[in-house]
Homo-oligomer: A and B are copies of this chain.
Amino acid sequence: MSASVPAAVCPPKRILLGPGPSEIAPRVLAALAAPTVGHLDPYFLRIMDETQQMLRDVFRTQNALTIAVSGTGSAGMETCLVNLLEPGDRAVVCVNGVFGTRMADVAARCGAEVTTLERPFGEVIPADELQAVVRKVRPKVVGIVHAETSTGAWQPLEEISAAVREVDALLVVDCVTSLGGLPVEIDGWGIDAAYSGTQKCLSCPPGLAPVTFGPRAVEALDRRKTKVRSWYLDLQMVRNYWSGQSRAYHHTAPINMNFALHEALRIVLEEGLDARFERHQRNHRALKAGLAAMGLSYAVQEPFQLPTLNAVIIPEGVDDKAVRGQLLNEFGIEIGAGLGPMAGKVWRIGLMGEASSPRNVLLVLAALEACLKAQGRSPQAGAGVAGAIASYDGRA
């Protein structure tokens, strides 16, 4: 062996309670390591068909064009915008966090004239404000984030959708940190296009982006006057590989990642969506009760706190990096740092998919108590854990 060859991959076992990737079920890792087959193998085409149907179930949609894009969640964002926007089109993008900011950037790179509707990080977008903007701008596309991973804010969508429909625009929704963890009703809410990532509430490793396009979005795609700017993400071609008579080769799909997603979706549907959403809520309530007992509060106001991503205000005088470092190095627990204007001000504790469990709630509270004690904060030892247990018992 050459001296320059590094040692083999042997990662430490982390408990993933950050903004994603989340915990992965052993079944999903086993599917990931199943023998690779060709991207045009009849077996793989069957897996693609089944995956599409399961994605429709999870998105709660009948949309034929519902696939897993061969990139991570941000590639899903780009897929929606680059296929729907042509140079000169008007877009309104709601910006109340890092991912709304990113969406505005992506839309501008598609050549669109972008108008942003901004609210401070941590707040949600009021439907009446959006209504006023879209009545004025008359955009082709409106983009909004359902679950802002950077702030922990949960955006209500039904009134937003009505405002968008009123001006006959297309509603594009970022469901990266919601799909599989809280209700996403593509058809019920009239969402025209949406994207997600595999590594959040679906509890699959990162690498694919579920995307769905409704009839109005497909019509816009079919009516394009210009080629989609991205060849790799061009749904006019990609859809012919995922369905239809030809199953025409476009690019070589990430075979094993699709195996993993298939297994992850099976787990979601076996649990049942409603049971899964309730589990996320229950563990979120327990975490919140425990944090409250420790004197910690949320960056987002009720009732807009995401159950999947808990943005917690870092107490005055506590060393952000030291706490996250101790959690990682002493306890093997990953939580997230704040992003953008929230850097150094919040911790982001994810309870997504497999990671949303009583075990992890108690563990992260207990470990956080140890870390705060190490910071000289001397919280009442066990208060956080006791608070969570009381919540599970129905006493809080």
Contact = CB atoms under 8 A, between A and B. Distances in A.
Interface residues of A, number: 84
A177 B340 CA distance: 41
A205 B256 contact: yes
Interface in A6-20: 6, 8-14, 16, 18, 20
Interface string A4-48: 111011111110101011001001011111111111011110010
Contact of A33 (B33, B42, B78): B33
Contacts of A16: 36-38
A342 to B, nearest CB: 13
Nearest to A102: B231
A21 B33 contact: no
B50 A6 contact: yes
Interface string A295-338: 00000000000000000000000000000000010000010000
A180 to B, nearest CB: 14
A246 interface: no
Interface stretch (A66-74, A283-291, A359-367): A66-74
A249 interface: yes
Interface of A: 1-2, 4-6, 8-14, 16, 18, 20-21, 24, 27, 29-39, 41-44, 47, 50, 53-54, 57, 70-75, 77-78, 82, 102, 105-106, 108-110, 197, 199, 205-207, 227-232, 249-257, 259-260, 262-263, 266, 269-270, 272, 328, 334, 339
